[in-house]
Amino acid sequence: MARLDETLASVLADRYAPNAARVRELASPLTDAQFWQKPLPYGNSFGHLVLHLTGNLNYYIGAQIAKTGYVRDRPREFNDPNPPTKEEALKRFDDAVAMVQQTIRAQLAEDWSAQYSAVGTNAKIRLDMVVQCEAHMQHHIGQMIYLAYQWKTGANSESELTSRVCFSPCLRASVWNRSVRLRESITSAINHLTAEQVPSPRLNAELLLMFILDCDRAYLFAHPERELTPEEQTHYQAALSERARGVPAQYITGHQEFWGMDLIVTPAVLIPRPETEHVIETVLKLALVECPPHTIRMLDVGTGSGCIALALAKEFHNAEIHATDISAAALEIARANAARHQFENRIQFHQADLLEGLNLTGLDFIVSNPPYVGESEEDQVQLEVRKFEPRNAVFAGPGGTGVIARLVPQAQSALRHGGWLVMEISGSIAEETQRFLRGWDDVHIIADLQSIPRVVRARKPLR
């Protein structure tokens, strides 16, 4: 029994060593030679079950056992009418355990490091992955011990044994030959997300799987029989768990599309929305009419991910573009996005609270998607927004106009006469925003595709 105790202590990182006495008591049938060849209701002897178990252990921690050759080189062994003896099974078990002991720490360091890189710095996902791995190992070791104990105590009727083992797929078939197809994964994910009341469950399930497989939606439909690797399954389940608890899909994948560009997003920045593209469209229309003879000078206030500044750089090839944000973490993401799209030399980033401390005057356009949700409206905001997105990029005082009230006079000082202020707003603050813009020319509210007031534009008087 020392071997079993050593296995538990090593594979499970000594966590269950205090329970060694109980393990020894329950697993005592393992010393009985007859037990190893006792037929089990699903067609294999317990000796075969040990081979299943050792494979399962390492399937969930990196599939190291498969490299021993016991499974890879002898695939028909599980149907062998002559089951292994206790000595043979123990020898193989010991060899497999030795392989685990020799490779688990080094191999896991490499395997988990790669998986950690895939999920970025999200400690919650990392912890879930480790807990899931360990839980599987503990469960399957427990199954082996339980069956051994049940056989010794006489509870070995087919119905009793079947009732315990039928729910565990690894005890019915070798897990290293078990696979999950793409179509099945999506269906299961949709059901899971639906049960967790996640909006648009199919869209989320497909989006996360596209991220894991690094493919497009057409690939999902074209290859429904494609089998997911164990690593892909682990990553997908981790991503689904995060989405089920409310984490926005964009923060899980780290990406969001805006104005035809793939942008990096993290919880340090507001997720770019399609509605914000109306701001860019408004600037384009105004610039087309104005068409100033000089180089256009623009400022994006509260740049966040840099989505507005990058879209302006994409459309105005010769413009001088500045972008500000009070958050150093947000500016880091904005600079990374500018570099990804080769705009790092086109946009000048500044850490500032709105325009404070900047010596910028004579600007043609000041553009902003400021926070405009009132704290009094917090209960009406989607849970994932108020829980996971940066609060200072969403809420702006009790009524939602706290930031805009400060931005308007600062913009008036920085714009040239005839320059434009363009801001994203919501319907609930449209009237109050217009009051802040008294004294400006050509004040106009623009609705989005749902007829909701979305953008306000205003022109600084010519004189």
Domain shared by 422 and 285, yes or no: yes
Rounded percentage of the chain residues whose pLDDT exceeds 90: 53
pLDDT tens figures, 281-300: 999 999 998 777 789 999 99
Domain shared by 124 and 265, yes or no: no
Concatenated DSSP letters of 111-132:
HHHHHHHHTTT-HHHHHHHHHH
* pLDDT classification of 18: cutoffs 50, 70, 90: very low
Domain shared by 367 and 337, yes or no: yes
pLDDT tens figures, 228-276: 988 898 899 999 999 999 999 999 999 999 999 999 999 999 999 999 9
Report the candidate in 38, 138, 141, 156 with the shortest Cα–Cα distance to residue 93: 141
| Cβ neighbours for 316, distance < 8 A, ≥ 6 positions apart | 287, 296, 298
Mean predicted confidence (pLDDT) in 92-118: 48
The helix (run of H) or strand (run of E) holding residue 372 is none
Q: Among 67-71, 312-316, 371-375, where is mean pLDDT lowest?
A: 67-71
The helix (run of H) or strand (run of E) holding residue 378 is none
Q: Among 15-29, 394-408, 438-452, where is mean pLDDT lowest?
A: 15-29
Q: Does residue 179 sit in helix, strand or coil?
A: coil
Mean predicted confidence (pLDDT) in 383-390: 92
Q: What confidence score (pLDDT) does residue 85 get?
A: 53
Domain shared by 228 and 268, yes or no: no
Residue 335 belongs to domain spanning: 256-459
Mean predicted confidence (pLDDT) in 444-453: 94
Report the candidate in 438, 370, 375 with the shortest Cα–Cα distance to residue 407: 370
Longest dimension (CA), the chain: 101
The conformation of residue 173, written as its DSSP 8-state character, comes to S
* pLDDT classification of 463: cutoffs 50, 70, 90: confident
The pair of three-digit structure tokens given for residue 184, joined into one six-digit string: 């099945």
Mean predicted confidence (pLDDT) in 383-399: 94
Q: Say if residue 438's pLDDT is above 70.
A: yes
* pLDDT classification of 180: cutoffs 50, 70, 90: confident
CA–CA distance, 236 with 265 (Å, rounded to integer)? 19
Domain shared by 146 and 233, yes or no: no
Sheet holding 453-459, edge to edge: 347-351, 320-325, 297-301, 363-368, 415-424, 453-459, 441-447
Report the candidate in 45, 94, 41, 37 with the shortest Cα–Cα distance to residue 65: 94
Q: What confidence score (pLDDT) does residue 293 get?
A: 76
Domain shared by 283 and 223, yes or no: no
Q: Say if residue 152's pLDDT is above 80.
A: no
CA–CA distance, 173 with 161 (Å, rounded to integer)? 16
Q: What confidence score (pLDDT) does residue 261 get?
A: 96
Q: Say if residue 366's pLDDT is above 80.
A: yes
Q: What confidence score (pLDDT) does residue 434 get?
A: 97
Angle CA 327–352–265, to nearest 5? 30
Residue ending a domain, among 144, 177, 210, is 177
Residue ending a domain, among 142, 177, 212, is 177
Domain shared by 282 and 371, yes or no: yes
CA–CA distance, 56 with 142 (Å, rounded to integer)? 12
Domain shared by 232 and 282, yes or no: no
Mean predicted confidence (pLDDT) in 318-333: 96
* pLDDT classification of 423: cutoffs 50, 70, 90: very high
Most confident residue range from 38-52, 98-112, 276-290 = 276-290
Angle CA 187–66–5, to nearest 5? 100
What does pLDDT average to over the chain? Answer: 75
| Cβ neighbours for 439, distance < 8 A, ≥ 6 positions apart | 461
Q: Say if residue 185's pLDDT is above 80.
A: yes
CA–CA distance, 388 with 400 (Å, rounded to integer)? 19
CA–CA distance, 192 with 172 (Å, rounded to integer)? 24
Mean predicted confidence (pLDDT) in 8-13: 38
The pair of three-digit structure tokens given for residue 287, joined into one six-digit string: 């610039």
Residue ending a domain, among 115, 146, 177, is 177
User: Residue-wise over 137-156: b if at least 16 C-beta within 10 A, else e?
Assistant: beebbebbbbbbbbbbeeee
Q: Say if residue 53's pLDDT is above 70.
A: no
Mean predicted confidence (pLDDT) in 42-54: 45
Phi, psi of 414 (to 5 degrees): -90, -20
Q: Are 50 and 89 in contact (CB under 8 A)?
A: yes
pLDDT tens figures, 71-104: 333 333 333 445 445 555 555 555 554 554 444 4
Mean predicted confidence (pLDDT) in 311-315: 97
Mean predicted confidence (pLDDT) in 158-184: 44
Mean predicted confidence (pLDDT) in 163-188: 53
Domain shared by 132 and 221, yes or no: no
Whole-angstrom CA distances from 32 to 41, 53, 86, 152, 276 are: 19, 18, 8, 9, 71
Kindly report the length of the chain.
463
User: 315: buried, middle or exposed (CB in 10 Å: 19+, 13-18, 0-12)?
Assistant: middle
Q: Say if residue 383's pLDDT is above 90.
A: no
Domain shared by 67 and 154, yes or no: yes
Q: What confidence score (pLDDT) does residue 90 get?
A: 53
Q: Say if residue 107's pLDDT is above 50.
A: no
The pair of three-digit structure tokens given for residue 398, joined into one six-digit string: 């009790």
Domain shared by 299 and 406, yes or no: yes
CA–CA distance, 122 with 129 (Å, rounded to integer)? 11
Domain shared by 189 and 266, yes or no: no
User: Residue-wise over 62-93: b if at least 16 C-beta within 10 A, else e?
Assistant: bbbbbebebbeeeeeebeeeebbebeebbebb
Domain count, the chain: 3
297: domain CATH number is 3.40.50.150
| Cβ neighbours for 154, distance < 8 A, ≥ 6 positions apart | none
The pair of three-digit structure tokens given for residue 441, joined into one six-digit string: 């020319």
Whole-angstrom CA distances from 437 to 17, 287, 404, 454 are: 71, 21, 10, 16
Q: What confidence score (pLDDT) does residue 310 get?
A: 98
Instruction: Find residue 323's DSSP bridge partners.
Output: 300, 349
pLDDT tens figures, 121-137: 554 454 444 444 444 44
Question: Looking at per-residue confidence, does 85 or 225 come out higher?
Answer: 225
Most confident residue range from 12-21, 79-88, 230-239, 352-361 = 352-361
